[in-house]
Structure 1
Amino acid sequence: MRTLTVGVVAHVDAGKTSLTERILHEAGVLDRPGSVDAGDTRTDSLELERRRGITIRSAVASFEWHDTLVNLVDTPGHSDFVAEVERSLAVLDAAVLVVSAVEGVQAQTLVLMRALQRLGLPTLLFVNKLDRAGADPDRVLAQVGERLTAEAVPLGAADAPGSPHAAYLAFAASDGEQADLREGTRAARVQPVVFGSAITGAGVPALLDALTDLVAEENGPALATEDDALEAPAGTVFKLDRSPSGTRLTYVRLRRGTLRVRDRLALAGREPERVTGVEVFGPDGLQRASQVEAGRIAVLRGPTTARVGDRFGPHGQGTRDVELGRPSLETVVDPVDPRQRGRLFTALTELAEQDPLIDLRLDDGRGEVAVSLYGEVQKEVIATFLEEDHGVAATFRPTTPICVERVRAVAAAHQLIDVSPNPFLATVGLRVEPAEVGHGIELGLEVELGSMPPAFFAAVREGAGLTLGEAVHGWAVPDCRVVVTHSGYYPRQSAMHAGFDKKMSSTAADFRSLARLVLAEALARAGTVVCVPVHRFELEVPQDLVGVVLAELPHHRAVPHTTRVPDRSLGAAAVLSGDVPAGEVHGLAQRLPHLTRGEGVLTTVLDHHAPITGPPPERSRARPDPFAQVRDWTRVKRAWPAD
């Protein structure tokens, strides 16, 4: 039996979770499909998900179809939870992109399709809600061809769309045509299309047939053989959770080998940790097991340092690096009861384990805790988790954009060992240079690699990274080149009849602290420009209200670049696209229902950062400020930053 891991992705309210429920029912896992409205779906297991009718956390269910074990991953549709989608895409063999036969191609549909195409992930399209009034599969198929992919291939036709009797009629295909379609689907050159309804079940068996026939036959590993047992296990961590008792649960997709209870697992190259328990997803749900084989999804107990995205074992085939965009907003979280500040931080730390892009920041000086966000809905969800799961009522300060700093020019600074005012037993010289967007942080050397111990070079790198994380105005520098121009140290020395004396010998702390200060001086000389996050927006509005919406955009500093108005006879919405500052997205979203009779749909994604006009905003620092220190080196002591 072969295995196939499939993700179901869609714009919010396209019927993604309803399709997941119907698939599980058709496969015999559920006696009846659950309902989002009734709050009894299998994959939306969180009470908050059921109450709000949205998917917040990815969920896994498994079933068998045509001699294939299928792992089905249900993902969120709301753009505020795009990070959860991102984590799921990294472990998929294929995806089903759900499109509504009524609303058609929507803004988040475009974002997801671009990601799937960029990853080269085999994708099938399911045009849902065929039974709904207003369903128009021909119009939607035309939109798919125009906006998503020119290689969409219908596998059948819709019968009686827009009525309760709507059905799907599969085309007959010759062996030759089927072979070509299979090859194109696996190579992600062709996207097969099935029409149907998650509510009535129309087209769902045909969708499952297409997945197993076109993707799974040779794609995805078979269940373990005797040879696999000898191969080192390799896989990816894609989700973290905690049991009701607080035990950390690590969700992994195993791609190679066999992983057993009591095996030691080295996650991302860290020290190996023992696996003390394994639970494997199967048709009967999550079951305890002694081992997990290649192709399966399992929950591990034991590892305590696991992080989302960690890989283990030999890397290579089957691994994907996915990023749909980092959060562009942040807020400070305060407990309603100041006495619960410690509990608040503990609870947010647990949430940050499950979603590392929350990027928890603790300002030790002010005692403030800040988190990163995709949007206001995510803020509401975090508040609910804090109160209901951890008993902490919290308030959120106004959301602000997460800016970055970009280096303006080339500049350098250095301090020599035993030369005033340098109090550290270290010589460090650094030059900072601008770098193009996306370059990342690069550390170069103009000194001999053997000029000092590797641990001291590592300390310089660490210190430089700390300064770049909170630069001149407190924001991070994402792209630049730092070059080590000077180095020197005192070797380990001992007083007579005594052991190591750090008063006479250089330490890693000397280099870490001095690198922070020297780079701060170089950055201050080079200067930085603060840049604000700018989102690319896509705005669907009724065609008769395009003028009204265009008049509103300047009030939110939004700049439209294109306006696409389809054939009026098709009744499709007009689509506006352009740029809007991240800090203005929420305000625009709040105005949209009033302007568009509630019919407007806005989706945004972080696109770039633009230089700010006016005084640069300052971000409070979570760490001691090296820029304040280097204004007067005579105040710097070797104990900095501890003092």
Structure 2
Amino acid sequence: MDRSPVLPRHWLNLGVLAHVDAGKTSLTEALLQLGGAVAQRGRVDDGTTQTDSLAMERRRGITIRAAVATFYAADVGVNIVDTPGHPDFIAEVDRSLSVLDGAVLVVSAVEGIQAQTIVLHRALRRLDVPTIFFVNKVDRSGADPGRTIRQIQRHLTESVVTLSAVHDPGTANARVEAVGREALCAELAGYDDALLRDWVDHGPPSAERLWQSLRSTKQVSAVLAGSARTAVGVEQLIDATLRLFPTSSGDHTGPTSGQVFKIERTSKRARVCSIRLRTGSLAVRDHVAQGVVTALQIQQPGGAIAGTRATAGQIVQVEGLDQARIGDWIGTRPTDVPAPNFLPPALQSTITAVDPGQQNDLHKALTELADIDPLITLRVRQDELHVSLYGKVQQEVIAETLATEYGIEVVLGQPSVICVERPAGKGYAVLRYGSPEQQYPYTMGVTVEPAAPGSGIELVVAAEHGSLPLHVYGTIEGFRETVFRYLDEPLAAGPNGWQVTDAKITVVESGYPPAAPHPAHVRYTTALVVKEALDKAGTTVCEPIDGVSVEFPSETMPEVLKVLGRYGAIAETTALSSELAVVRGAVRTGSIDALRNELTSAAHGLAVLDARLDHYAPVRRQPVRGRG
């Protein structure tokens, strides 16, 4: 008997995004209350919100991990995906965006547009997620909704249509009402020629005709206003999301297709995957590539409940998929879904248990955390543990997570940039079976030399083909492919402790006695000779250099250029308009955080810095040993 709950016919997966402190989580609480999912709104300050469930989220008053909460409106089940707003957790935001049908981008009517608001809006546009702007905090002192809407037009998109009229902004008596039909028609007619003709020929169109125009005019975004704290304007926001965003009943009979966008563990350490099902269904005991479904929970008001089958359109938590990774597709992947696009962390830090006896437990705990967040890379070098990071706040969160969830107090070193090593010259090494220094029945000789910057690792097999152990590897190409995988270990840390790249490795000698070697003998010998040859070649430590694009108000050009000059970011190109300027250049990755902070001040909080790894260059100071 199917014990799955009775569910709505249609689903809407709704993202709520904002810069820190714009009121995103408070708005989520208001949506849940008005949707009947909770009797009373939680408060961030009191730590009683539905979506900030982690203890540290409640203490810090910020969202760290994406969370899902649900309410029903008519026959639509709305899954609200509450996402982090802090830059250190931008990868969590990107994962969540890939499962959305629409998004509400919250902007404070007091603080206005901020740098992270612009970053989030760009991500939404890149993934083609329909977006509504909600101008929040209209009841706060200093609120100016009109100024905020002008900032949206200036910094985000000129094509907006205002649906809310705010009265008495900046006071406790602030109230919101829908704009009149004629005023809305006048705004929309500037973007919709067909609507303009209807208006001229037949008079003011109906309200439904105006909603149809707003839905179909893709380049236009609706702007609403209100106060999440008092729920003013939130009912109008709910109505607008249901009218403007696509809802889906899904293709229940099609092939199963769903995306994993979050992985967490229960208090009993069971692995739970959050999946947005796009087509088909997923049931307990179903076999998929990532494992067997042993349990599933379906989102509904008040929290997820156990079910036996989930269908298209739903967000479901699934146990049993032990091989799944964030971003994986369960079943088939649709061709029209963009791939997530986020860069791996550029920083790392040593991490040590305060109690030396817990060091092994620390390694296991970090392995679990890396499973939850694949952009956290755990490395072990020279008997030290290292973890990759986006920034200081993430470092603090990792330490607090280890203390509260695993009972491990840790000490984290000062974050440092992740460098690489390139061979500086040519080195040769050989180990011959039967010699005193070779304990394995296999001979291998290799050379290591520099390759072109950015080329990665190249492996060439130049040894006599008859000397290769083809009885083990089948073909010469099979030998080359397998030995190439063996290079991961010796190249993981060069003489200075950093990963080695841009190297050409040539197998120049090979040999073995009868009935030998085993694959393990080849692997161990490869590691030894490559490491020795690399030591003889020597390496150059290279640091990452980011290509940067800085967008800022034109009037702050002198201050911004001074800051960029101090960081050696010589502008390659400059684009300038009457209001906005864009400068592109290159900056050391290790300086990006400090540069971003100074640009924020120089551009009055409106500088947007896009940074992407461009290349590696030799460090200009004494090489630093890699610790991670």
TM-score bucket (shorter structure):
0.7 to 0.9
Q: Report the secondary structure of 2:487's partner residue.
A: helix
1:278–1:564 Cα change, 3 Å: same
The counterpart of 2:264, out of the listed 222, 241, 244, is 241
| CA offsets 1:137-171 (integer angstroms, 9 cap, x no match) | 33222322232223333344434332332314245
1:45–1:159 Cα change, 3 Å: same
Measure the CA separation in 2 of the matches of 1:2 and 1:441. 50
After TM superposition, give the deviation of residue 289 of structure 1 in Å.
0.4
1:150–1:540 Cα change, 3 Å: closer
* 1:331-346 correspondence runs (5 A): 331-346=349-364
Measure the CA separation in 2 of the matches of 1:613 and 1:446. 33
Query: Match for residue 612 of structure 2?
Result: 607
After TM superposition, give the deviation of residue 92 of structure 1 in Å.
2.0
| CA offsets 1:501-543 (integer angstroms, 9 cap, x no match) | x962344335545665676658986966612354848698998
1:111–1:51 Cα change, 3 Å: same
Query: Match for residue 16 of structure 1?
Result: 24
After TM superposition, give the deviation of residue 75 of structure 1 in Å.
0.7
Measure the CA separation in 2 of the matches of 1:310 and 1:444. 33
After TM superposition, give the deviation of residue 26 of structure 1 in Å.
1.8
Q: Is 1:379 aligned to residue 385 of structure 2?
A: no
Measure the CA separation in 1 of the matches of 2:458 and 2:390. 28
Measure the CA separation in 2 of the matches of 1:177 and 1:523. 71
Q: Is 1:452 aligned to residue 475 of structure 2?
A: yes
What is the percentage of aligned positions where both structures have the same residue? 38
Measure the CA separation in 1 of the matches of 2:393 and 2:220. 35
| CA offsets 1:592-634 (integer angstroms, 9 cap, x no match) | 99x89x9858875542355244246344477xxxxxxxxxxxx
Q: Is 1:104 aligned to residue 112 of structure 2?
A: yes
The counterpart of 1:296, out of the listed 314, 331, 347, is 314
Query: Match for residue 261 of structure 1?
Result: 284
Query: Match for residue 234 of structure 2?
Result: 204
The counterpart of 1:166, out of the listed 161, 175, 181, is 175
Amino acid at match of 1:312: I
Q: Report the secondary structure of 1:102's partner residue.
A: coil
After TM superposition, give the deviation of residue 591 of structure 1 in Å.
8.1
CA contact (8 A) 1:237 1:311 kept: yes
* 1:463-482 correspondence runs (5 A): 463-471=486-494, 473-476=496-499
Amino acid at match of 1:509: A
The counterpart of 1:222, out of the listed 227, 249, 252, is 249
Query: Match for residue 499 of structure 1?
Result: none
Q: Is 1:38 aligned to residue 13 of structure 2?
A: no
Measure the CA separation in 1 of the matches of 2:356 and 2:75. 57
| CA offsets 1:420-475 (integer angstroms, 9 cap, x no match) | 999774779799885676x8778899999997177534422312344554456443
Q: Report the secondary structure of 2:324's partner residue.
A: coil
* 1:290-329 correspondence runs (5 A): 290-317=308-335, 319-329=337-347
CA contact (8 A) 2:17 2:85 kept: yes
Measure the CA separation in 1 of the matches of 2:618 and 2:419. 9
Q: Report the secondary structure of 1:358's partner residue.
A: coil
Superposed CA RMSD: 4.3
The counterpart of 1:505, out of the listed 516, 519, 523, is 516
Structure 2 unaligned segments of length 5 or more: list them.
1-8, 186-204
After TM superposition, give the deviation of residue 8 of structure 1 in Å.
1.4
After TM superposition, give the deviation of residue 84 of structure 1 in Å.
1.4
Query: Match for residue 394 of structure 1?
Result: 410
Aligned residues: 583
CA contact (8 A) 1:489 1:506 kept: no
Measure the CA separation in 2 of the matches of 1:539 and 1:376. 24
Measure the CA separation in 2 of the matches of 1:461 and 1:139. 59
1:503–1:96 Cα change, 3 Å: farther
Amino acid at match of 1:40: T
Query: Match for residue 300 of structure 2?
Result: 282
Amino acid at match of 2:17: V
Query: Match for residue 135 of structure 2?
Result: 127
Amino acid at match of 1:182: R
Provide the TM-score with structure 2 as the length reference. 0.78
Measure the CA separation in 2 of the matches of 1:255 and 1:236. 8
1:72–1:405 Cα change, 3 Å: farther
After TM superposition, give the deviation of residue 582 of structure 1 in Å.
4.2
Query: Match for residue 583 of structure 1?
Result: 590
Measure the CA separation in 2 of the matches of 1:557 and 1:615. 15
After TM superposition, give the deviation of residue 484 of structure 1 in Å.
8.0
Measure the CA separation in 1 of the matches of 2:51 and 2:555. 37
CA contact (8 A) 2:545 2:617 kept: no
CA contact (8 A) 1:428 1:514 kept: no
| CA offsets 1:220-270 (integer angstroms, 9 cap, x no match) | x41564x34xx3x22122212121122222222222211111112212xxx
Measure the CA separation in 1 of the matches of 2:359 and 2:262. 27
1:515–1:565 Cα change, 3 Å: same
Query: Match for residue 639 of structure 1?
Result: none
